[in-house]
Amino acid sequence: MNGSRRRGTSIADGISAARQSGDLQPLVAAVPYFRWLGLRIDRQGEELITVMPFQDMLIGNPMLPALHGGTTGAFLESAAMISLIGAMATPKMPKIINITIEYLRPGRAMDSYATGIVTKLGRRVANVRAYAWQQDRDKLIATASTHFMMADASGS
C-alpha cells in the first residue's frame, strides 16, 4: 500500500509541476503509452495542441497508406485528457467513462495534431470534445466526444 501510495503522489506531483510551469511535457513523459505513441505538447497561447509525430508503426492500411483508426481514436482520447488536465484546478488524473469517435477522412502518413475543448467541467464529470487534423486545420481527420470522471469524486 505504502509503495503504491508513494507512486500515486508522484504522478499528482508531476501534474502539479506541469501545471505550475505551464509545460505539460513532464506529464506525457510520466505515462508510458504517451511515450510509446511519441506524443508531445505544443502550447499555443491558451490552447494545448497534442502532436503525434508520424511513425511507420502507426499505419493501419499500408495500401493508401493511412493511420490505423484505433491509433487515431487513442490519440483523440489522449488529447482530450491532456486538455482536460490543463483546464483542471487541482492535479488529478481523470478517468475516461466513454468516447465516441467520428472518422471524417483517412489519416495520412504524416504528423497529426489534436486539441480538446472542455465543454463542461463539472465537479464529478467533465465533457471534452476533441478534434484531430494534419496539415490543414480546416480538414479534420476525426473528432471525438468524451466523458471523464474526475478522479476523487466520492473516492472512485
Partner 1 sequence: MPPRAIPAWPIDRFQASTHCPKTMEIDFQNVRQSMISGIPHMAAVGLELISMDESGLVGMVPHRPEFVGDPDTGVVHGGIVTVLLDSLSGMCIVPVLNEMMVVATLDLRIDYLKPAAPRQDIFAQVHCYKTTRNIAFTRGVAYQSDINDPIAHATGSFMLTRPEKTEAVGAAGT
Nearest distance in Å: CB 46, partner 1: 26
Q: Which stretches within the chain are classed as H helix?
A: 2-21, 25-30, 32-37, 69-87
Q: Which three cell numbers stand for residue 8?
A: 500515486
Q: Report the residue number, 53 or 70, with the smaller CB distance to partner 1.
A: 70
Determine the residue type at 53.
P
**Cis before 62? omega within 30:** no
Based on the shown chain and the rule CB under 8 A, indicate whether residue 11 belongs to the binding site for partner 1. yes
The three-class DSSP label of residue 101 is strand
Based on the shown chain and the rule CB under 8 A, indicate whether residue 124 belongs to the binding site for partner 1. no
Nearest distance in Å: CB 101, partner 1: 5
Identified binder of partner 1 from the candidate list 28, 41, 74, 84, rule CB under 8 A: 74
- The phi and psi torsions of 149 (rounded to 5 degrees) equal -90, 125
Nearest distance in Å: CB 123, partner 1: 20
Q: Which stretches within 24-68 are classed as H helix?
A: 25-30, 32-37
- CA proximity to 37, closest of 132, 145, 143, 147: 132
Based on the shown chain and the rule CB under 8 A, indicate whether residue 68 belongs to the binding site for partner 1. yes
Q: Report the residue number, 46 or 136, with the smaller CB distance to partner 1.
A: 136
Identified binder of partner 1 from the candidate list 13, 33, 42, 152, rule CB under 8 A: 33
Based on the shown chain and the rule CB under 8 A, indicate whether residue 26 belongs to the binding site for partner 1. no
Binding site for partner 1 (CB under 8 A): 4, 7-8, 10-11, 30-37, 56-62, 64, 66-71, 73-75, 77-78, 93, 95-106
